[in-house]
A and B are shown apart, each in its own frame.
Chain A
Amino acid sequence: AQSVTQPDIHITVSEGASLELRCNYSYGATPYLFWYVQSPGQGLQLLLKYFSGDTLVQGIKGFEAEFKRSQSSFNLRKPSVHWSDAAEYFCAVGSNSGYALNFGKGTSLLVTP
């Protein structure tokens, strides 16, 4: 069964600094990979997704993620964070043999002035 690990529970970055959130997955075939963001009191919003093709995926709000099969990783990046990026970030994996997504436990991002 597929699974997702987000090694960092909390991350703090300064506004304007770069950001990388880590995600490792476990799945035999090419997975479907997603990053969602959850702001306080809000539902989850899709940032970006990867199914195939170009391993560097662009998403909304200036985020990007790179699929690295050799490392089983799908790390999320942003070159310059804004205070409004403070939120909980979830990596998720799906497969073509099911329909429910498997989510990581999330990484909480704090942005300091």
Chain B
Amino acid sequence: GAGVSQSPSNKVTEKGKDVELRCDPISGHTALYWYRQSLGQGLEFLIYFQGNSAPDKSGLPSDRFSAERTGGSVSTLTIQRTQQEDSAVYLCASSSQPAANYNEQFFGPGTRLTVL
């Protein structure tokens, strides 16, 4: 079956521009996560969605970052007024069970964002 998909795979933007990154989770997965992978830094949790509940935004690094999930499926991560330090690979993951991180998270291939 189809895995987690993300688009675009690569995005190059100029400093100060807004960008939108899209994630399509595995069909039927209720939990969705965004992580950021910076060079040499491992993965950093950004935000978590579970069904129709309010998301946990505790990992978002600044108010320039926001995310939404429509219809409990597709999610969009938006970065406003991008800065060079936002350059990273943004990974989306989904899992079939809520709020329990002993459940396997399935990762998409990521979006590589480069801010010039």
Within 8 A of A (CB), among B16-55: 31, 33, 35, 40-43, 45, 48, 50
* Contact partners of A9 in chain B: CB under 8 A: 40
- The one of A32, A43, A44, A99 in contact with B31, judged by C-beta atoms closer than 8 angstroms, is A99
B99→A43 contact, CB < 8 A: no
Would A105 and B107 be within 8 Å (CB), given that A43-B4, A96-B100 are in contact? no
B109→A90 contact, CB < 8 A: no
Would A101 and B45 be within 8 Å (CB), given that A32-B102, A41-B109, A94-B102 are in contact? yes
* Contact partners of B105 in chain A: CB under 8 A: 46, 101
What CA separation (Å) do A49 and B3 show in the bound complex? 20
A interface size (C-beta, 8 A): 25
* Contact partners of A104 in chain B: CB under 8 A: 42
Q: Does B113 contact A (CB under 8 A)?
A: no
* Contact partners of B50 in chain A: CB under 8 A: 99
* Contact partners of A92 in chain B: CB under 8 A: 43
Q: Does A95 contact B (CB under 8 A)?
A: yes
Contact with B along A46-59 (1 / 0, CB 8 A): 10010100000000
Q: Does A42 contact B (CB under 8 A)?
A: yes
Q: Does A29 contact B (CB under 8 A)?
A: no
A103→B102 contact, CB < 8 A: no
Q: Does B77 contact A (CB under 8 A)?
A: no
- The one of B4, B40, B45, B110 in contact with A100, judged by C-beta atoms closer than 8 angstroms, is B45
A43→B110 contact, CB < 8 A: yes
B107→A43 contact, CB < 8 A: yes
B42→A99 contact, CB < 8 A: no
What CA separation (Å) do A110 and B20 show in the bound complex? 34
Chain B residues proximal to chain A, CB less than 8 Å: 3-4, 31, 33, 35, 40-43, 45, 48, 50, 56, 59, 91, 93, 98-102, 104-110
Chain A residues proximal to chain B, CB less than 8 Å: 9, 32, 36, 41-46, 49, 51, 90, 92, 94-96, 98-106
